[in-house]
Structure 1
């Protein structure tokens, strides 16, 4: 995984997902991404799906008005949000919290990969910060 930062946007999977979001007009891609991350209970959540889910959760947080980091890495997503203002449904926020629990669990390949680095605590703090920006 091409990764350059601990925040949700700092990897190739996240950037690709954000680019694909440009082709949509509604929250279907966000919901499908969260559902994929929640699927296959008991199986390991693969890193690409977890990375995409974190960016989908960023969409929810930003639509709720909780923007967080804004820089060149977030530009594509921020543009989509500006062009498609809408309310994030409460059930999506609830799913987002469950997905974060799954991403931080022992059954998450992304967590396992970060745990092998010196930046694990920074990554985990970024994920928890994102959780804090999604209102239930």
Structure 2
């Protein structure tokens, strides 16, 4: 695994994906993100690490356009701007992230063995929460 940190673009696969986005025409970038997320979200026996790494990077770019999102790009992410992404990509990104941390994910297995695994999983959860904020518990009305 060519990984140097836990960020969405801190591995060879995601960094290459960021470069591919930069090289693509503006009108192709949304479909590139969609394909990556669809591939990761699709039901399958196993999610390979490279597909999961690209999905995390794509989800971070989608989340970056959310009002509560943070900039996702590091020195290794895309430097060219993305078009305004449609809201339905948020749901697709959540589905992809759920698969990334699931039992049948090679990337989750790899991070499960790493010292920074819990921090990586925390960052994935934080990213997911931007895309699909948890519903705060309702306080019971006092009568």
- TM bin, normalised by shorter chain, reads 0.7 to 0.9
- 1:132: Cα distance to partner? 2.2
Task: Specify the alignment match of 2:39 in structure 1.
Answer: 36
Deviations 1:5-24 (A, max 9, x none): 11211100000000001122
**Which of 54, 57, 69 lines up with 1:52 in the alignment?**
54
Task: Specify the alignment match of 2:98 in structure 1.
Answer: 101
Structure 1 residues 1-136: aligned runs within 5 Å: 1-24=1-24, 25-26=26-27, 27-39=30-42, 41-65=43-67, 66-68=69-71, 71-74=74-77, 77=78, 79-81=79-81, 84-86=82-84, 88-134=85-131
How many correspondences in the alignment?
Answer: 129
TM-score, normalised via structure 2 length: 0.81
Deviations 1:76-121 (A, max 9, x none): x2x322xx441x2121100111111111100100000010111110
Greater Rg by CA? 2
Ranges of 4+ aligned residues in structure 1 off by more than 6 Å: none
TM-score, normalised via structure 1 length: 0.85
Deviations 1:56-87 (A, max 9, x none): 1111112224224554234xx2x322xx441x
8 Å contact 1:30–1:56 — kept in the other structure? yes
8 Å contact 2:40–2:51 — kept in the other structure? yes
Q: Which runs of 5+ in 2 are unaligned?
A: 134-143
State how far apart, in whole Å, the 1-side matches of 2:115 and 2:132 are: 30
State how far apart, in whole Å, the 2-side matches of 1:70 and 1:22 are: 12
Kindly tell me: are residues 126 and 132 of structure 1, through their superposed partners in 2, closer, same or farther at Cα, counting changes over 3 Å? same
Q: Which has the higher contact order (CA 8 A, sep 6+)?
A: 1
User: What is the aligned-residue RMSD (CA, Å)?
Assistant: 1.8
* Higher helix residue share: 1
State how far apart, in whole Å, the 2-side matches of 1:19 and 1:70 are: 12
